Amino acid sequence: MKIKLLFIVLITSVPGFSQNGLESIYSQISVNPAALDFDSTIVNQTITLQTVVKNTGFGLLTVTDITSNKPVFDASPTTFTLIDNQEQIVEVTFTPDMASSFYATLSILNDSPTSLVEVICTGVGRWPLGVDLLKQEAKPFTIYPNPVSNRLLLTLNLSEEEYIAIDICSPDGKRKQLINTLYHIGSHQLDLSSGIQDLASGIYLLQIRIGQKSYSEKLIKF
C-alpha cells in the first residue's frame, strides 16, 4: 500500500515579512495632497508645506528617493520605510531665487507596484514691496474670469513668434493639455472653455509655457 504524504505550508503575513520580495507586491503607496501651491514668497526666503506618504497595503514599503526637477523645491526626508498603515510626513520647501513663477514635479521612487508617484509643486517668487520693483516681470497674458464657471479666456500679446502650451492640473496630480500651438507676433485671444467645462468644482492649477518661460496660475472652478 502506498502512503501519500501531503505537506501544507502556511505562510504567516506579519509586518516586515519577506518571502522572495512578496512585500513589494502587497505594499501600496498613497500621497496626500498630491499638489502643493506655495503661493507668493519673497525671493531667497523659504516657505514649507507638508505632504503625507502612507503605506495603505501589507508588508514593508520602502521609499528609495524623492527628487525635484527644479532646485527651488526640496523635500525631506528622501528615504524611509513604512510598515502596514504607517505614515511619514514629508516637508517640502520652496526657496525662489528670482521673481518668477515656478512649476515642478517631485518624484517619489518606491518599491510598491506604483513605483513612481508625483507631487506637483507651484509657487511664485516676488521682490519685497518697495524694493527694486522694476525687476518684477509683468506676465504677458491675462486670464478671465477667475473664478470661472464654463467660459474661460486668455488674452496674450507676443513680441515674437512662440510656442504656447497650456495644461490644467487637478489637486490629485492629473494633467490635461488644453493648447500646444505655435503663435505669431501680435495679440491673441485663446478660448479655453472646452477644456474646463467637464471639470468638477474646485481649485486647479494652470501651467502656461510661453517659449522657454513657465507661469502658474491658480484657477477656481465653481
Ordered strands of the 73-76 beta sheet: 29-32, 47-55, 87-94, 73-76
Mark whether 34 and 113 lie in a shared domain: yes
Name the average pLDDT for the chain: 84
Mark whether 105 and 177 lie in a shared domain: no
pLDDT band at 24 (very low <50, low <70, confident <90, very high): very low
Domain-located, residue 5? no
Higher local confidence (pLDDT), 50 or 98: 50
**How high is the pLDDT of residue 214?**
84
Considering its fold, how many domains does the chain have in total? 2
Of 115, 94, 80, give the one whose Cα is nearest residue 37.
94
Of the chain, the percentage scoring pLDDT greater than 70 comes to 84
- Residue 66: give the domain boundaries: 23-126
**How high is the pLDDT of residue 130?**
56
Mark whether 118 and 165 lie in a shared domain: no
Higher local confidence (pLDDT), 25 or 155: 155
Q: Are 82 and 28 in contact (CB under 8 A)?
A: no
Q: Which range has the worst mean pLDDT, 83-92, 95-104, 114-123, 156-165? A: 95-104
Higher local confidence (pLDDT), 75 or 197: 75
Mark whether 99 and 167 lie in a shared domain: no
Q: Which range has the worst mean pLDDT, 31-35, 41-45, 190-194? A: 41-45
Mark whether 98 and 190 lie in a shared domain: no
Q: Which range has the worst mean pLDDT, 34-48, 70-84, 167-181? A: 167-181
> Which CATH number characterizes residue 148's domain?
2.60.40.3080
Beta bridge partners of 31: 53
Q: Are 211 and 141 in contact (CB under 8 A)?
A: no
